[in-house]
Amino acid sequence: MRDSRLPANSHETIPENARNREHDNALGGAGEGQWARTVQMQDLQHDDDLNAVIRDHSERLTAQLHAQAESLFPPDAAKEMRKFTSGEAAALLKVNDSYLRKLHLDGKGPSPELTPGNRRLYSVHDLHALRVLLEKTARRPGDYLPGRREGDHLQVIGVMNFKGGSGKTTSAAHLAQRLALLGHRVLAIDLDPQASLTALHGVQPEFDLLNGGTLYDAIRYDSPVPIAEVIRPTYIPGLDLIPGNLELMEFEHETPRALAQGQAGLFFFRVKEALSQVDDRYDVVVIDCPPQLGFLTMSALSAATGVLVTIHPEMLDVMSMSQFLRMTADLMDVIAESGADMKHDWMRYLLTRYEPTDAPQNRVVAFLRTMYGDTVLNAPMLKSTAISDAGLTKQTLYEVDRSAFTRSTYDRALESMNAVNDEIAKLIQTTWGR
């Protein structure tokens, strides 16, 4: 009989380390030295606690990201919005370019920057000044400053989904900026501890928010501060920001403890109550919700007057959304049983990262439109390299210069983004009865 201690074939009699050395030599690699370093690295990873490895990786990545950010935006630099051509300015103001030229020649309104080619460039501050000027002679109130009037309630839009890659933050950032560029007074709130919305607006959470400064400060159970103390202006007139960072997770940890001690009260009203302090300062609040159904998301849902659910039209994402909707409904039932009014002005689904030439995606889109009808926005957000490339430098499509891209790629992406955001802007006006 074969000795069970013997290997099944002669190849297996080669010691493991010898075979590894042979493999190195066969690959023409670094041989024993490289193999030894690999083993040493593996031993280090086995010896270290997982939390130590993760912390080390986190610190190294943070340092690299900070270095990259400093190369793009030096510490003493403030992020600025690009300037708009006269054609872009006219489109935003919904007037003719020739009319803008006449205003300039007549000495009315701000003076645009003139390029060597005699092209007019308008800053975002110029656009705001022009809106104020044009509103004075508008045929109808709100033609150029379309915000709230007496009797209109604050619109609070919760942008949510708990599946990564659905375009939630991209949608929230572009919506907030577009509404501000159209003349609304907007407050963007980053309620996601990952703080991508914050980074897009020039705030580095791990360096600029060392002593708080997130919404957590205004909704915490122990000595909350007035929400006005955590609001900061951005480089776009009419757009303010409440940044986010990992500190927001404290609310998720503290709420169960406060509930157990009977100190939480109606915890899901804390965001709504905080916003009531600045109700008269804004027309629209855009909340980038966390990608989970926790206490922060429940509080945002309770404060929201409109809900925007982002969907990537792939079957796995739709299946995930099914669970998301079921759990959301269950949680809202619990909140409603506590006496909250969970009625909303509207709820819409936004198709994101949509590729019109993708047949399976088109079948999913048709399925969703058949099932949900008008609650699916007509305009989808197209998948575009322009959006992802802009994100590399922590910018949105509205911030990057058109010349940095292939013109057709940029125009196609911008047209898609504007169609989405303008449909939502029209929905807001409809809610106000206009």
For residues 409 and 386, what is the distance between their CA atoms, to the nearest angstrom?
7
Confidence at residue 362, expressed as pLDDT on a 0 to 100 scale:
94
The Cα-based distances of 348 to 146, 148, 328, 379 in angstroms read: 21, 21, 15, 11
pLDDT (average), residues 158-166: 80
Specify the CATH class of 148-432 in words: alpha beta
More confidently predicted of 117 and 206: 117
Say which range, 139-148, 170-179, 250-259, 323-332, has the weakest mean pLDDT. Answer: 323-332
More confidently predicted of 79 and 362: 362
Confidence at residue 72, expressed as pLDDT on a 0 to 100 scale:
60
| Per-residue pLDDT band at 4 (split at 50, 70, 90) | very low
The Cα-based distances of 157 to 36, 228, 300, 306, 346 in angstroms read: 56, 19, 9, 5, 9
> Does pLDDT of 9 surpass 90?
no
Contact 302, 340 (CB under 8 A): yes
More confidently predicted of 33 and 266: 266
For residues 57 and 50, what is the distance between their CA atoms, to the nearest angstrom?
11
Structural tokens at position 54: 């993760």
| Per-residue pLDDT band at 73 (split at 50, 70, 90) | low
By DSSP bridging, strand 186-190 and strand 239-242 are parallel
| Per-residue pLDDT band at 356 (split at 50, 70, 90) | very high
| Per-residue pLDDT band at 424 (split at 50, 70, 90) | very high
> Does pLDDT of 188 surpass 90?
yes
More confidently predicted of 250 and 165: 250
| Every domain of the chain and the residues it spans | 84-136, 148-432
**CATH topology classification for 84-136:** Multidrug-efflux Transporter Regulator; Chain: A; Domain 2 (1.10.1660)
- pTM for the whole structure: 0.82
pLDDT (average), residues 412-431: 96
| Per-residue pLDDT band at 263 (split at 50, 70, 90) | low
**Mean pLDDT of the chain, nearest integer:** 84
> Residues 6 or more apart from 14 whose CB is under 8 A from it?
22
For residues 373 and 274, what is the distance between their CA atoms, to the nearest angstrom?
35
CA torsion angle for 133, 280, 301, 416 (degrees, to 10)?
0
pLDDT (average), residues 380-404: 88
Say which range, 53-57, 241-245, 386-390, has the weakest mean pLDDT. Answer: 53-57
Confidence at residue 262, expressed as pLDDT on a 0 to 100 scale:
72
Q: Say how many Å lie between the first and final Cα of the chain, rounded.
A: 92
| Per-residue pLDDT band at 66 (split at 50, 70, 90) | low
Asked if domains 84-136 and 148-432 share a fold, the reply is no
| Per-residue pLDDT band at 68 (split at 50, 70, 90) | low
For residues 349 and 376, what is the distance between their CA atoms, to the nearest angstrom?
5
Cα 193 → chain centroid: 12
Helix, strand, coil distribution of the chain in percent, nearest 5: 55, 10, 35
Confidence at residue 20, expressed as pLDDT on a 0 to 100 scale:
45
Contact 84, 91 (CB under 8 A): no
Q: Residues of the chain with pLDDT > 70: what percent?
A: 84
| Per-residue pLDDT band at 265 (split at 50, 70, 90) | low
Structural tokens at position 415: 């047209």
According to DSSP, residue 382 is labeled B
Residue 194's Cβ-side half-sphere holds a number of Cα atoms within 13 Å equal to: 11
Confidence at residue 390, expressed as pLDDT on a 0 to 100 scale:
87
Structural tokens at position 109: 């309104």
Nearest to 66 by CA among 169, 195, 203: 203
Say which range, 206-215, 256-265, 365-374, 414-423, has the weakest mean pLDDT. Answer: 256-265
pLDDT tens for each residue of 30-61: 444 544 444 444 554 555 677 787 777 877 87
> Does pLDDT of 183 surpass 70?
yes
Does the CA dihedral 377-382-388-389 come out positive or negative? negative
For residues 282 and 429, what is the distance between their CA atoms, to the nearest angstrom?
14
pLDDT tens for each residue of 279-329: 999 999 999 999 888 889 989 988 999 999 999 999 888 888 888 888 888
CA torsion angle for 219, 222, 223, 229 (degrees, to 10)?
-30
> Does pLDDT of 18 surpass 80?
no
CA torsion angle for 340, 341, 347, 352 (degrees, to 10)?
-20
- Return contacts of 139-148, CB within 8 angstroms, 24+ apart: 142/434, 143/94, 144/93, 144/94, 144/183, 145/183, 146/182, 146/183, 146/184, 146/425, 146/429, 147/183, 147/184, 147/185, 147/283, 148/283, 148/432
